[in-house]
Structure 1
């Protein structure tokens, strides 16, 4: 069974919000990367990724966010993750990525 990933992008001046729905894994990570990386290459942009409706993410997804973070450093933009469900947030904590990627403190329970 292949769960899809829906990506919605809203641009308002220098703030770009990506709202994601579904799962981030080896099958859907390329779609996320194609949507996210070009946005991080806009100098001065604040890229906000809303993960509230992501109920599963594996290491492939972490790799995409690491690539995006590197890109923000190179292009002087900013990456922020918001509304992570507990299980997704734990992935960032276990790998210590929460110390290098800005994650909004709001935590959502996973049902």
Structure 2
């Protein structure tokens, strides 16, 4: 897993790549919470280059969503691939997160 980010004011775009699973979830959680601690209230997580994610990763995204929602913030996701999008649809998380098909769409 690799994670990078760009921050503009209170908006952060986090780009993850590789596999997001039980082994990488703690690192991802720490990374996302650090960005929130530093003042981001809008967090866009780009999953375009993620080959696999598991339920532990879903838990990380939900925990960050809850934390930001309590403070009036939002987590949005970029998921261009049907295979990952299906996971969010099956679990009902497509109704929790705003999901964009590209970073360009998320920027609008």
What is the TM-score with the length of structure 2 in the denominator?
0.85
Helix, strand or coil: the match of 1:76? coil
Deviation beyond 4 Å, 4+ runs, structure 1:
41-44
Q: Does 1:49 align with 2:15?
A: no
Report the more deviating stretch, 37-46 or 20-29. 37-46
Q: 1:42 to 1:99 in 2, by over 3 A?
A: farther
Aligned partners of 1:30, 1:77: CA distance in 2, in Å?
A: 22
* Counterpart selection for 1:97 from 84, 87, 93: 93
Aligned partners of 1:43, 1:78: CA distance in 2, in Å?
A: 12
Aligned residues: 102
Equivalent residues of 2:68, 2:75 under 8 A apart: yes
1:21 maps to which residue? Answer: 17
The alignment's C-alpha RMSD in Å is 1.7
Q: Does 1:80 align with 2:72?
A: no
Higher helix fraction: Structure 1 or Structure 2?
Answer: 2
Structure 1 position 44, deviation (Å)? 6.5
2:105 maps to which residue? Answer: none
Aligned partners of 2:39, 2:71: CA distance in 1, in Å?
A: 5
Q: 1:79 to 1:96 in 2, by over 3 A?
A: same
Aligned partners of 1:88, 1:100: CA distance in 2, in Å?
A: 15
Q: 1:78 to 1:43 in 2, by over 3 A?
A: farther
Aligned partners of 2:51, 2:81: CA distance in 1, in Å?
A: 7
Segments of structure 1 that go 5 or more residues without pairing to the other structure are none
Structure 1 position 83, deviation (Å)? 3.2
